[in-house]
Amino acid sequence: MDSDSFGYILSIGDKNHLTSYSLTYLNSSDESFQLSFNLDGVKNLLKIPLEESSLGNKKWIKISLKFNPLSKKIILTVDDKIYSTKRYEFETNITPNLFFGKHGSIIDVPLMAIKNLTIAESSNIYRFNFHESEGNTVYDGHGKGYGTVQHPNWLINDSYHWKHRFTTSSKSIASLAFDEANQRFIYINSDTIGFYEYGKDLNKKRPLKSRLPVPMNLGNSFVNTETNELIVYEVNDLPNDSATIASINLDNLNIEILSRLQLTQQRHHHNLIWDNNNNRFIIFGGFGNQRLNNTFNAFDLSKNNWDTLTLKGDTISPRFFSGKVETGPEKVLLFGGVGNESGDQSIGKTYYYDCYEVDFVKGTINKLWEISRDQNLASVRNMVLSSDSTAFYTLNYSEYIPDSFLQMNRYDIKTGKFEILGDSVPIVSERIKTNANLYFNNATNEFFCTVQEFNIDGSNTINIFSLNNPPVSKKMIAKYTSEKITTSNVWVYILSGIFLTLIISWYLIKKWNANKKEKEKQIKSIIAVDQNPHFNGIVKNSISLFGPFTVFDPNGKNITYLFSNKIRQLFVIILLHSWEKVPLGIVSEEINNILWPEKEPKKVKNTKNVAINQLRKTLLDMKGLEVVFTQGMFSIKFNNDFQCDYFDFIKSLKSLNQKLGNDMAIERLIYISKKGNFLKSFNHPYFDQIKTDFEHEALKVIPDQIKHFYRENDYAKVVQLTEILSNIEQLNELSFYYKIQSYIKLGLIDRAKKYYNNFVIEYKKVLDDDFPYTFNEVSENIPDDLK
């Protein structure tokens, strides 16, 4: 509960009488916080003082309220403290109406959350775990609907969907550290230090007293909680006699140089272990200078020296992108990574899914297990130990894919059995310095994911996300969604009296029930689209022009490497002139002017002929595809064995234009557009107009259909169409507003918020500016110029 808010927590009354009681939260001053239990409209019965430390984000208060009709006594228990009153005004038998928050004329509601509700009467017990993730119906533990809630924010979604909490950017290399002791993240660059206090959602920036003496390259730092200092360090690739390790006193921002020593090798994506008992930090693994590393190096802060640790037992092969979690004093687990047995980069990469226990007191390494996975996945550097110490959590991702996703996995420490949890977090991993980490905050019982994405000039953006503990799987979300969709007994809701305020006519109930079924049908449709498998990347005898340029031969082998940059440009230029063009093909002179405008006519002819021959030779690996020259024009001849996603997209777009809401066409358009932007790999100026023309064709069809289906209240169709439009034009305003409003109309508030957060992050990344509207402002209505 938020200490600064005020309002009604709970109201309970008798459906057949005017008597009612309420529990409210009051904060009469900055130092006075209390619960008030009232006989409504008559008098206050109990005042319960609250400690400020018990209030705030992610802090729970246990409340029990018992009405005894025999003793005429009401007992209120708050965090095991008992309060009572004998002002019992109910009849012996009542039909209870129970409301949380806003209802009727009551509009003041504190910022609060509810979980684990139990309602008991005689031998009847109703338990509400609030595992619903969507919709407006409240179900008990058996999946039976008993009540409704308006504008719900289901807590289970905060255990599945990562919530964006903070973003900041720096033009120079910055470092980020987690300071759990002070409930904050600390970020620093060469002249500025910032503090993001996540409990208060407060960001503070302060200039350093002097320029940071360590020239940051990788941006490594950690907090020494004993001395309340931020330690910034680099290990290699700095000028001689440069400061490599420095401390910043977090009380007064005084800076001290601790060392100028360097290791002999750079160590990208190494693991850090802070050994407080011996005032040293240890690093393991990493990559640099074309070598992978498996050395444990320790820096003693007291002695200002690096030492190489010798450990006995099992050998960990050279690697980077490993995960680390501390399991006890001077004891850690190391998990996975990317590397090979020799450490030579030129040999190639192996993706490891093994786990080692390292004991620095005993000086031992013990391999616990090794498993296999059907994906190539790296791990973030910092992992989290489960509360019972039987498992660890990490974020895995395919670091070699530029537009990748971080996915939480829970691994059993004894067996290596893993479970995928939560939704994914986007990460652009184009640069070696880009990194992500996972942390856990015990005070608020939530995970934090940090993502730091670098650009080629060293500028970088930091994003912080949070996820409630315990994290849940997609299977669990789907389970409760399925239970919700299959339950439709409206009369149970009314008779239960929970959260329901009006008895309405039979006709309105019937009409409401029909609308509810239609809404549930649409929600189910959206979920079904989400659960469809995304593009798997392999279509035999095909070319992909959406996302990365990709070519597969008739056997499904990726032969993209056969196409040099100039050959792929030549191929696509001719191909796009060989489909739905009159006449088919492109004249030789036009090709010359596009690809070799600087060459003289005599020289360009030979260059072009060489390129054409090379293209013909390359296409021999394809079936039913060849370059032909007729009537002075080059074209690509192909048959039905050949597939091109661009051709497929245009055909589906035409089908959609001919038939409103064509389901098959929409499915294909979503499937193709998810792969990435059209001609994403082609930066030649000639393709700019082709990209513009393509977007124009899509914009002629899709926006009108979005507006049509929105007017028809077919919000599922609107969501699907906006998915296509936003894939084509990332920051399309019409797509943004209509998807937000459609989610809200269906009661999918959490989906709307998640989509809004992702849009805001992308907006900042693309335009380098903050999105000007809050979620509440966006959710009010669709701007008139978009209707």
d(CA 66, CA 78): 12
Amino acid (1-letter code) at residue 185:
F
d(CA 315, CA 296): 12
Give the pLDDT confidence score for residue 435 in this predicted structure. 95
Q: Is residue 393 one of the residues assigned to a domain?
A: no
| Mean predicted confidence (pLDDT) in 148-160 | 78
**31 and 45 together in one domain:** yes
**692 and 743 together in one domain:** yes
Query: Which backbone phi and psi does 339 adopt, to 5 degrees?
Result: 180, -155
Residue 539 pLDDT exceeds 90: no
> How far separated are the first and last CA of the chain, in Å rounded?
39
- Identify whether the C-beta of residue 284 lies closer than 8 Å to the C-beta of residue 298: no
pTM greater than 0.95 (yes/no)? no
Sole residue written with tokens 């299977």: 475
**151 and 19 together in one domain:** yes
| Mean predicted confidence (pLDDT) in 43-65 | 82
Q: Is residue 204 one of the residues assigned to a domain?
A: no
| Mean predicted confidence (pLDDT) in 217-230 | 95
> Which residue segment(s) compose the domain that 580 sits in?
542-644
Give the pLDDT confidence score for residue 553 in this predicted structure. 92
pLDDT tens digits for 90-114? 877 778 888 888 777 777 777 777 8
Read off the pLDDT band of 29 (50, 70, 90): low
Angle, helices 733-745 vs 715-728, to 10°: value is 150
Burial degree of 561 (CB within 10 A; 0-12, 13-18, 19+): exposed
Give the pLDDT confidence score for residue 647 in this predicted structure. 93
Our measurement of the distance from residue 703's CA atom to the centroid of its chain's CA atoms, rounded to an integer in Å, reads 27
Q: Is residue 682 one of the residues assigned to a domain?
A: yes
**638 and 757 together in one domain:** no
Residue 132 pLDDT exceeds 90: no
Question: What number of other Cβ atoms are within 10 A of residue 776's Cβ?
Answer: 7
Per-residue CA distances from 153 to 112, 325, 345, 540, 716 (Å):
11, 33, 49, 45, 20
Domain boundary pick from 644, 670, 697: 644
140 three-state secondary structure:
coil
Read off the pLDDT band of 61 (50, 70, 90): confident
Token pair recorded at residue 162: 């990562």
Amino acid (1-letter code) at residue 103:
H
Give the pLDDT confidence score for residue 68 in this predicted structure. 84
Q: Is residue 615 one of the residues assigned to a domain?
A: yes
Count the domains in the chain.
Answer: 3
Average pLDDT, the chain: 86
Query: Which backbone phi and psi does 721 adopt, to 5 degrees?
Result: -70, -40
**48 and 141 together in one domain:** yes
d(CA 525, CA 134): 13
Give the pLDDT confidence score for residue 462 in this predicted structure. 96
**17 and 148 together in one domain:** yes
Read off the pLDDT band of 32 (50, 70, 90): confident
Per-residue CA distances from 330 to 277, 318, 357, 501 (Å):
8, 22, 11, 59
Read off the pLDDT band of 492 (50, 70, 90): very low
Residue 278 pLDDT exceeds 80: yes
Q: Is residue 215 one of the residues assigned to a domain?
A: no
Cis peptide before 470 (omega within 30 of 0): yes
d(CA 371, CA 385): 19
pLDDT tens digits for 708-724? 999 989 998 899 899 99
Give the pLDDT confidence score for residue 286 in this predicted structure. 95
**70 and 41 together in one domain:** yes
d(CA 522, CA 716): 5
d(CA 426, CA 374): 20
Per-residue CA distances from 511 to 501, 514, 518, 647 (Å):
18, 5, 11, 45
d(CA 138, CA 135): 9
- Identify whether the C-beta of residue 285 lies closer than 8 Å to the C-beta of residue 294: yes
Q: Is residue 53 one of the residues assigned to a domain?
A: yes
**659 and 686 together in one domain:** yes
Closest CA to 413 of 368, 365, 359, 469: 368
Q: Is residue 270 one of the residues assigned to a domain?
A: no
**670 and 742 together in one domain:** yes
pLDDT tens digits for 314-332? 999 999 999 999 999 899 9
- Identify whether the C-beta of residue 402 lies closer than 8 Å to the C-beta of residue 428: yes
d(CA 37, CA 11): 10
Domain boundary pick from 617, 644, 671: 644
Domain boundary pick from 618, 644, 670: 644
**510 and 607 together in one domain:** no
- Looking up residue 630, the CATH number of its domain turns out to be 1.10.10.10
**720 and 773 together in one domain:** yes
Per-residue CA distances from 345 to 217, 320, 372, 429 (Å):
21, 11, 22, 19
Q: Is residue 308 one of the residues assigned to a domain?
A: no
Amino acid (1-letter code) at residue 290:
Q
Residue 672 makes CB contacts below 8 A (sequence gap 6+) with 535, 546, 645, 648, 649, 652
Report the share of the chain in percent with pLDDT over 70: 91
Q: Most confidently modeled of 142-146, 289-293, 381-385, 421-425?
A: 381-385
42-46, 500-504, 567-571: range with lowest mean pLDDT = 500-504
pLDDT tens digits for 334-361? 999 999 999 998 888 999 999 999 999 9
Greater model confidence, 170 or 631: 170
Rg of the chain, C-alpha, whole Å: 31
- Looking up residue 674, the CATH number of its domain turns out to be 1.25.40
Residue 149 makes CB contacts below 8 A (sequence gap 6+) with 136, 137, 138, 499
Per-residue CA distances from 673 to 187, 560, 739 (Å):
37, 20, 17
Read off the pLDDT band of 4 (50, 70, 90): low
**63 and 101 together in one domain:** yes
d(CA 262, CA 240): 9
